[in-house]
Amino acid sequence: MPARTLMIQGTASSVGKSIMVTALCRIFKQDGFRVAPFKSQNMALNSFVTRDGGEMGRAQVTQAEAAGIEPTVDMNPVLLKPEADAKSQVIVQGKVSRSTSAEKYYQQTPGLIKVIEESLNRLRSAYDVVVIEGAGSPAEINLKAREIVNMRIARMAQAPVLLCGDIDRGGVFASLVGTLELLDEDERNYIKAFIINKFRGDVNLLQPALDFLEKRTSRPVLGVVPYFRDISIAQEDSVYLDNRPASPPSADLDIAIVHLPHISNYDDFDPLEDEGCQVRYVTRPGQVEGANLIIIPGTKSTMSDLLHLWRSGLAESIIRQAKQGTPVIGICGGYQILGRKLLDPQGAESETDSALGLGLLDVVTTFTADKSTRQVRAQVANSRGLLEGTDGYEVMGYEIHMGQTEGGEDMSAFHITETPQSKVDYLDGRLNTQGAVLGTYLHGLFHNPGFRRALLNGLRRRCGLPEKWDNPIAEKEEQYDRLAELVRNSLDMPAIYRILEQGIT
């Protein structure tokens, strides 16, 4: 029997759909079901590489972790990664298909329906429950005829829909009612109930509005989920970076992360804040001053973002701080930016054929059309400077990059020893001669606890701060359990099980 399905749609982007799917995956797992997440089409710069080298959205990886299963590209068969010049790279079943404009993409979406349906059917044949996530709003009337992620998927999966709204933004009741009104009658039949998300305050004061909503729409409100800050779950949308809570007063190291226009995989840095560091995302030259560490993160459009750094004055500011002794780390595209030059003779990454890098590492990157996507195991190759005290440490990570980086006198940072498929033997990244500038292609580097604490304590010694070896981070499994407990206690779970059992009838 194919798995039962349940779909979470929202009144807008960033209302909490991904988190709600994550919580439900954990709850169903706790209740003894084999459960998998699914999102037919995801637009995100946070991506992940599966064991077999496929690329997929990071949110579905988080949801799979909460479900206790290995992530596969079937959970996110179509991934769109926005690029410069109003284009997106289209990744189908984990592999790069093409780069295209929005107009051309929407002309091509009917051809992706079969791929999506095949992925969904494989999941339904392997699990008891599939929890499906929509995107944006199902009531975007300009997109409805061509969308492949909301009501079209609900029909395909015969999935009852729970509609989620964000009360923290205001206007949640108008959003819920308005979304329902803009749907076609047959689409409205799929909406079985509402969820109010991100509530602050006394829920009893909300009851009259909930009663009105249920009477107006003839649909129940399954519950009100409180706004939370103390549960650490990876965020999908970069809008999160603009509304992050301030670091606690006890934070010690000041880490400035450059908020590139096409920043990607910023969840690489979540563990730094969880370890007690002050993490700031900076956009202006003066904001990097005073930092104990500057990080240039990954980017989907390296050449474009490098030119942005020069135009904004951030490039000169980073160079000046590095020359004054501030350590700098570049991850993936940030590593490429740290080099002397970027070359793109084939136009694989942009329309700019060459650009000067920051010159903080003696390397040159040449872009080609090939894209490297692999999980890796590595060892620290040179334990000096930023890597002092990490000798012998082993790290796990993954590579997602276009271009090859070759260098001169700088020292390699990591020795790659293994992929899930085989033993390998090659070097990654660079340390400059002083050891204060580090570049690497390894995403997920700071998710390795021992390595992370050794690197941060090296920075603390450098700054005259006391070392920290106690781990303040609750294990990831505990975080998922805490999220599940919060949502389980907030929602009418017996009603959700009835909706799951009844389907769309």
- Assigned token pair, 3: 């798995």
Active-site residue identified among 332, 401, 415, 447: 332
CA atoms of 438 and 398, how far apart (whole Å): 17
For residue 50, give the nearest of 94, 114, 96, 3 by alpha carbon.
94
Residue 238: which of 14, 6, 11 has the closest Cα? 14
The catalytic residue among 259, 308, 415, 443 is 443
Strand ranges, E, within 39-188: 41-43, 47-49, 55-57, 78-83, 87-92, 95-101, 129-133, 161-166
Question: How far apart are the C-alpha atoms of 116 and 326, rounded to whole Å?
Answer: 48
The verdict on whether 25 is a catalytic residue reads no
Rounded Cα distance between 147 and 151, Å, is 8
Nearest to 224 by CA among 187, 296, 172: 172
Residues 6+ apart with CB under 8 A from 211: none
Buried b (16+ CB within 10 A) or exposed e, 111-131: ebeebbeebbeebbeebebbb
* 332 catalytically annotated: yes
Q: Do 402 and 299 meet the contact criterion of CB atoms below 8 Å apart? A: no
Residues annotated as catalytic are: 332, 443
